[in-house]
């Protein structure tokens, strides 16, 4: 078996970059060094000019890319996860159900996060999903005396409409709405027989299909402060992943979200709720592609068994939870010497296995942060070989927010075989030596992790040759050089560009949209907070900012 050390995606980058004739020109207009994108305009990433030795100049990059295309929707549909949590909470289910399990998933690859406005819409499939799930939820909520008692006290139909309506719509119902849904309640009794459960079930079905439940809105004059119920919903869905509680709605009604100080206090309280840790776990998981770990495969590595894939995901999530619980941030994400280890992962780390479950272990001086832990290294490894191109690409995308790279080609020519005695770095460098500018940025980042093979084991030699992990990368602060992955992570942990990039991701996830150049002052301000404080403090700083609490011009 010929070892290439490259994944299909890595080869796709090579297909864009190297070895193409005019007939193979990439359809997306990706350019060779010194060339231009289709139409003559320079492609993202600069002109392709390089310094001696293949290192890009500092002014060649657009640091922390902000070329998004938000629509600034003011009517944001709930995500599938938010829908499930909200339904469970307003119907007082003792356990989270699986009512949304069959919902259509957002289109993958369009946005970084699945709560982005660009992938949340309602088509015929979504309409059917919401309708069927609303009916199933109503049946569960009214199907037994115990379930109905948890939902409503007594058989007061107007009271039920008023109380449940406020929970479902996240605000008090208007007089007209109360009358309308009382009519729905009466219709349920006429259609299905006398009894509180029949009327309540039809009200639940109707409200769960209403736009007032399915969408979180920010309506009104642009520039005005959001209303108290809008702020309650925005905070709760972002930080807790669910609808506002009765207590939070009471606070909104009492004017307790009117000032910035009150809003900050509410956010800080939410950040100590265990549900906030789950939300931030989801944020990091989407940013770093934890969902891909289930598909890791190493068929030509005898020591690997697919049963450890679940451990890879668990260890990732446990690490994210640890950082959040300990009030840490992106600096520790990049520099921590600790990782969670299971019996299956221990041999690859070269440490003693725990008796059971996961244990937090100090891994010593050879590893720094998440990008030098097994989940990332195994995910971006081809059998026993490191996938240097994809390691570099993923690192740049997640932490540096460099220019948007050309999409991978769909058809790739097989690369030449790796020669005996040729290191992975030499091989990749040979394949990417045609001058494509993107490889001059991402390859050195991937090569910094050359001291770890495709299953994340530490190595000093590659086919008998000494490992070369040295490189450089042009940060906003200047071109930085590093000898290995540890030095790279130390530099990144102190870089304003990195903290601004991380703040970009936090803000995009919080606001549910892509970011643009006008957002740069906000992100730079949050980046300064991140440099010396935790993720929680970045969240609080964002809540205090007008970008979070005021209305934008946008589409309905």
Task: Note whether residue 526 is domain-resident.
Answer: no
* 297 and 211 in a common domain: no
Task: Note whether residue 318 is domain-resident.
Answer: yes
Q: Do residues 281 and 249 make contact, with C-beta atoms less than 8 angstroms apart?
A: no
In sequence order, which ranges of 216-287 are alpha helices (DSSP H)?
228-239, 246-253, 260-271, 274-287
CA atoms of 252 and 245, how far apart (whole Å):
11
- Cα three-residue angle 159-160-166, rounded to 5 degrees: 95
Q: Do residues 47 and 37 make contact, with C-beta atoms less than 8 angstroms apart?
A: no
CA atoms of 434 and 429, how far apart (whole Å):
9
Q: Do residues 185 and 200 make contact, with C-beta atoms less than 8 angstroms apart?
A: yes
Please tell me whether residue 147 adopts helix, strand or coil conformation. Answer: helix
* 112 and 8 in a common domain: no
* 457 and 325 in a common domain: no
* 200 and 90 in a common domain: yes
> Other CB atoms closer than 10 Å to residue 383's CB: what's the count?
19
HSE of 450, CA atoms in CB hemisphere, 13 A: 27
Task: Note whether residue 254 is domain-resident.
Answer: no
Q: Which domain holds residue 357?
A: 274-379
HSE of 501, CA atoms in CB hemisphere, 13 A: 25
CA atoms of 513 and 116, how far apart (whole Å):
5
CA atoms of 292 and 267, how far apart (whole Å):
31
**Bridge partners, 76 (sequence order):** 216
* 213 and 80 in a common domain: yes
CA atoms of 508 and 500, how far apart (whole Å):
12
Task: Note whether residue 512 is domain-resident.
Answer: no
Continuous segment of H or E residues that includes residue 514 = none
Q: Which has the closest alpha carbon to 549: 231, 291, 293?
A: 231
Looking at the structure of the chain, the number of domains it has is 3
CA atoms of 152 and 198, how far apart (whole Å):
13
* 80 and 207 in a common domain: yes
What are 537's two structure tokens? Answer: 């403090």
Counting Cβ atoms within 10 Å, is residue 23 exposed (0-12), middle (13-18) or buried (19+)? Answer: exposed
* 90 and 43 in a common domain: no
pLDDT in tens, the chain (556 residues): 334 455 545 545 555 444 333 333 222 222 222 222 223 222 222 222 222 233 444 444 458 999 999 999 999 999 999 999 999 999 999 887 799 999 999 998 899 999 999 999 889 999 999 999 999 999 999 999 999 999 998 899 999 999 999 999 999 999 999 999 999 999 999 999 889 999 999 999 999 999 999 999 999 899 999 999 999 999 999 999 999 999 999 999 999 999 999 999 999 999 999 999 999 999 999 999 999 999 999 999 999 999 999 999 999 999 999 999 999 999 999 999 999 999 999 999 999 999 999 999 999 999 999 999 999 999 999 999 999 999 999 999 999 998 877 644 444 455 677 888 889 998 888 888 655 567 788 999 999 999 999 999 999 999 899 999 999 999 998 999 999 999 999 999 999 999 999 999 999 999 999 999 999 999 999 999 999 999 999 999 999 999 999 998 877 6
The helix-helix angle for 228-239 and 246-253 (nearest 10°) equals 150
């Amino acid at each position: 078996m010929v070892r290439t050390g490259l994944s299909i995606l890595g080869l796709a980058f090579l297909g864009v970059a190297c070895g193409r004739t005019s007939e193979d020109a990439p359809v997306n207009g990706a350019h060779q060094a010194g060339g231009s994108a289709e139409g003559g305009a320079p492609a993202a990433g600069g002109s392709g000019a390089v310094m001696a030795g293949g290192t890009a100049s500092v002014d060649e990059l657009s640091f922390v890319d902000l070329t998004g295309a938000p629509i600034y929707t003011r009517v944001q549909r709930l995500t599938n996860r938010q829908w499930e949590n909200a339904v469970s909470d307003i119907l007082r289910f003792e356990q989270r159900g699986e009512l949304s399990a069959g919902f259509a998933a957002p289109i993958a690859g369009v946005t970084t996060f699945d709560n982005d406005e660009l992938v949340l819409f309602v088509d015929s499939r979504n309409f059917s999903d919401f309708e069927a799930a609303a009916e199933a939820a109503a049946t569960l909520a009214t199907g037994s005396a115990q379930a109905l008692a948890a939902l409503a006290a007594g058989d007061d139909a107007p009271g039920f409409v008023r109380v449940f309506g406020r929970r479902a719509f996240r605000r008090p119902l208007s007089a007209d709405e109360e009358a309308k849904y009382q009519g729905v309640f009466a219709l349920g009794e006429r259609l299905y027989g006398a009894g509180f459960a029949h009327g309540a079930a039809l009200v639940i079905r109707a409200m769960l299909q209403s736009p007032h439940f399915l969408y979180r809105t920010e309506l009104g004059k642009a520039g005005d402060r959001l209303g108290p119920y809008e702020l309650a919903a925005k905070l709760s869905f972002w930080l807790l992943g669910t609808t506002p509680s009765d207590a939070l709605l009471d606070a909104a009604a009492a004017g307790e979200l009117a000032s910035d100080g009150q809003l900050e206090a509410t956010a800080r309280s939410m950040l100590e709720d265990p549900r906030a840790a789950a939300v931030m776990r989801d944020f990091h998981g989407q940013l770093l592609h934890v969902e891909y770990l289930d598909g890791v495969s190493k068929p030509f590595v005898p020591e690997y068994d697919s049963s450890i894939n679940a451990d890879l995901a668990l260890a990732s999530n446990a690490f994210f939870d640890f950082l959040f619980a300990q009030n840490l941030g992106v600096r520790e994400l990049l520099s921590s010497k600790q990782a969670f280890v299971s019996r299956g992962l221990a041999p690859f780390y070269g440490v003693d296995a725990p008796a059971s479950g996961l244990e937090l272990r100090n891994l010593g001086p050879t590893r720094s942060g998440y990008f030098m832990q097994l989940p990332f290294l195994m995910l971006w490894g081809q059998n026993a070989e490191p996938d240097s191109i994809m390691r570099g690409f993923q690192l740049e995308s997640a932490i540096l927010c460099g220019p948007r790279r050309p999409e991978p080609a769909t058809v790739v020519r097989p690369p030449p075989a790796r020669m005996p005695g040729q290191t992975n770095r030499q091989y990749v460098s040979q394949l990417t030596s045609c001058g494509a500018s993107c490889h001059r940025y991402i390859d050195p980042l991937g090569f910094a992790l050359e001291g770890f093979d495709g299953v994340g084991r530490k190595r000093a030699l590659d086919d008998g040759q000494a490992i070369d992990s040295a490189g450089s990368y042009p940060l906003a602060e200047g071109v930085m050089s590093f000898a290995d992955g540890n030095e790279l992570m130390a530099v990144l942990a102190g870089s304003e560009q990195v903290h601004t990039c991380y703040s970009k991701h936090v803000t995009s996830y919080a606001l549910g949209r892509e970011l643009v150049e006008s957002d740069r002052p906000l992100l730079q301000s949050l980046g300064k907070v991140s440099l010396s404080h935790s993720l929680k403090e970045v969240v609080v700083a964002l809540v205090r900012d007008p970008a979070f609490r005021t209305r934008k011009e946008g589409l309905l």
